[in-house]
Structure 1
Amino acid sequence: MTEDRKFAIRGLLENGFRLIAICCESYEFKLYNPASWRRHYRLIKASALIARWLQKAAFYSAIDFDGFDEKTFWQEYRLFSRRLPNNSAFVLFEQFYKQHLLWLTGETDAD
């Protein structure tokens, strides 16, 4: 794995954890409104799925991606994004990664 790809995945981690923090600070949640409960529940489920996906990358980032399988990482991305078809966060992750690689190297392949 190239240094540029490592840097791009680390940037993906940073943005992912920021997104999770924003989702957890939802100010729309109203205790007295059951519709708010459902929206908040879906938001928490999406955040948990994103966290699980990024957790392995965070571990491998700590050990400089030794043994990291990028192909599996993106396969999990596709699997999780299908589980959350209405969640644009996963689309944002792939776009961020590709833009970062393009900026660093001119390379845009996410596989």
Structure 2
Amino acid sequence: MNKKLLIVDDEAHIRMLIEQTLEDLEDEGVEMLFAENGEQALEIIQKERPNLVFLDVMMPKMNGMEVCERVKKKLGLSEVYIILLTAKGQEVDRQKGLDMGADRYMTKPFDPDEMLTIATGILTP
């Protein structure tokens, strides 16, 4: 079964940066999916059930916290691993993200090597 990775950010250049960071995973058979807002992300998550989601917090229509809460608490999709990406690095923000059900919290600018290591650990056998 193919593993799926969803990259959600309202800024195209950040989606592209994350894609470039993780492109080696495509060689491992990982399918990359993309969304540019929270509503789109929620639709894709419900339909595609990605294994891993890199989810920006600050977005139009529905923010990453709301998406995370819906996926984890309302839909009960605990198998979807969600990493919140945000420019807000305060502990209170991190705690809120984890309270919403996020599996992990990364602050921007993120470390590409760390991102790849995490994604590889989740997506490759």
Same fold (TM over 0.5): no
TM-score normalized with structure 1 length: 0.30
Higher RCO (CA-CA < 8 Å; seq separation 6+): 1
Greater C-alpha Rg: 1
Identify the structure with the greater strand proportion. Answer: 2
Structure having the larger proportion of residues in helix: 1
